Amino acid sequence: MGNDEVTTTDRMDDVTLYHTFSGLKNKKGLKSSQLKTLLAIGGWKLGAVPFTALASTPESRQTFIASVIKFLHQYEFDGLDFDQEYPGSHGSTPQDKHLFSVLVQEICEGFEQNAKQVDKPRLMVTTAVAAGISNIQSGYEIPPPVSVSDDLSYNSSVCHLYLDYIHVMTYDLHGSWEGYTGENSPFYKNPTDTGSTAHLHVVSPRIDADADQRPCRKSRGDLGTKPTKIPQMSHLYNICTFLKYGATEAWEASEDVPYAYRGNEGLGYDDTRSFKIKTGTGSSSSGGSSGGNGFWAGKASGLYPVANNRNAFWHCPNRLTYQQNCPAGLVFDTSCDCCNWA
């Protein structure tokens, strides 16, 4: 980024890579008809400071949004993944917690207006968010959770109104900085976890818990490791090689994730089974997505329309059932599992 506008990096092959990546949607022989490609902007290396500057005024925000729209169309991306690490920390000011909400809202509104102008589907808006409790609390405006007995009508929330997906960075839950071994991104906490570590699992992060009460799609995953010998994150091809050549694979039932070991080396990772559990399409060792009471019985965790009431939807997380309503004037749209204009 530069002068509040999105630009390519100094790499000479950026443009080639953009076209190759977006070209996957048209590649013959692939089941790619539903494939969406997003451009991620941000990351830990870029930090939060550039976002502080561009979010600070209405003029700078509109400059940024206009440049993003032009860039996404130019390279045939389907949307933006906004990766500010992190609002309210890592060099960011406390005011950025609110400005993050403002910027995301204005990005979505800009994408809506552009869709009408070019007569094409709206560009998607997603964000990568922190998994650690302290960064969540300092970085994101999240309404208080509601209970079943509360009036479950909507209040103002960036999540339910403006984001298509939330990508929780669960690969940051655990790592080599801790000095002991274990799973990198457990679904549930290990029975031995106490104190602050008891919150470091996929179903715990506050932003995820609150998103569970709004029609906002969540994506989570980790392909990192927390090994015993080499204290670092590993790439997918390293994990595949480790598993292929002599590693013993095992399953940690209390955390619903696999791990593998060979000699004095070990790693935690995700496989097909654990991904299905995390996305609500598979059965948990702890009974996470089979059985249950009420509307939820026999269904995977997720969002479902309410018969004869387009404004309402069923939300079924972790064997619980809630009936909720979209804001006035909106209806539940099964094509995106979100509240949309009628």
Query: Within 10 A of 19 (CB to CB), how many other CB atoms are there?
Result: 11
Please name the residue that has the structure tokens 């906002």: 216
Cβ(59)–Cβ(67) under 8 Å?
Answer: no
Name which of 303, 297, 304, 132 is nearest 218 in CA terms. Answer: 303
Which of these CATH numbers, 1.10.760.10, 3.20.20.80, 2.60.40.3500, 3.90.1300.10, describes 13-26+34-143+158-169?
A: 3.20.20.80
Domain ranges, ordered by start, for the chain: 13-26+34-143+158-169, 302-340
Distance CA 61, CA 104 (A): 10
Mapped onto helix, strand or coil, the DSSP state of residue 28 is coil
Q: What are phi and psi of 115, to 5 degrees?
A: -60, -40
**What is the set of active-site residues?**
85
pLDDT in tens, the chain (342 residues): 788 898 887 676 888 899 889 888 887 766 556 788 999 999 988 888 889 999 999 999 999 999 999 999 999 999 999 999 999 988 889 999 999 999 999 999 999 999 999 999 999 999 999 888 888 889 988 765 433 333 333 333 454 568 888 888 888 888 777 777 778 888 888 888 887 777 788 766 544 434 433 333 333 333 333 444 444 567 778 888 999 998 999 999 888 899 999 988 888 888 988 888 777 665 666 543 333 345 555 667 778 898 889 988 887 765 556 677 787 788 999 888 888 887
pTM: 0.70
List b or e across 300-328, with b for residues whose CB sees 16 or more CB atoms inside 10 angstroms: bbbbbeeeeeebbbbbbbebebbebbbee
Angle between helices 58-74 and 96-118 (to 10 degrees): 50
Distance CA 164, CA 216 (A): 6
